[in-house]
Amino acid sequence: MTPVPVVVDCDAETDDAIAILLAALHPGLGLLGVSTASADEAVAVRALVARGGLDVAVHPGVEWLVAALREAAEPVTLVTTGPLTNLAAALAADRSLTGSVGRLVVLGGTHREPGVTPYADRNVWSDPHAAATVLAAPFRDQLLVTADATASVALDDADLARLRALGTPAARAAAELAATRLERGARVHDPLAVAALVEPGLLTTLRAGGPGGVRRPDDVRRHAVRRRARRAARPGVGGGRRRQGGVPRSALRDPRPSTRLNTATNSC
């Protein structure tokens, strides 16, 4: 089987590194490279992934992402596991890049799991305008892997023991990276977005725009901006950038009937 060409756009959390290890090592995937929003993040991600014995190319900024998509010999599967800042900037540089993406997989969104707001997890809350731009772009196939899905398969110490028992550098590193999250009460979200590429049956998906109530991307953006403004106005609350977690609430109306936007709400 020919490996699926994959690009990962991420931030510098430990579960991003686990997702990259999976994308780099699975025989069904061909990792073309990784992009981040900043040089500092690129250095941090490369160091985290190196703990698994891999030297993965990690590129800061948007230029590499634009070039990688433009020059791809076939449509690329693009997986985002951080805020959508980089991808929105890439689209601003070249709107036609959507034609180079066979599938866009965005880690985040929620129906039942609490977010920063009812409609926004950490990633969209960090840059709601970028999230609205990306989710309104004419990608042919979009999948949001929600916090509901990642919560339904939350890792525990027994899972980490099974990873360590595999004995490979990557498995041991993944276990230790995951352990750092569990110790501070955080879930391991990002690898599920990559796992969805190789095991589609893991996820139960819903067609966005169907019954049950949906939100337009602009509604998500306005709500997230209002919430951030209220937080900034509260005494003792700083305005620093916070990055981790998901995307906007995944029940988003897709205004483009020619494209497909699905949301994953459960993992088997």
CB atoms within 10 A of CB 138: 15
147: tokens are 């916090």
Give the pairing of strands 141-145 and 58-60: unpaired
Convert 27-66 to b/e letters by CB count within 10 Å (16 or more is b).
Answer: eebebbbbbbbeeebbebbbebbebbebebebbbbbebbb
The DSSP code for 75 is P
Q: Give me the DSSP letters along 164-227.
A: HHH--HHHHHHHHHHHHHHHTT----THHHHHHHH-GGGEEEEETTSSS--B-HHHHHHHHHHH
Is 189 an annotated catalytic residue? yes
Which of 26, 59, 189, 223 is the catalytic position? Answer: 189
Do 86 and 65 touch, CB atoms closer than 8 A?
yes
Handedness of CA 123, 128, 133, 137 (dihedral sign): positive
Specify the DSSP element, H or E, that contains 232.
helix 217-233
Catalytic residues: 189
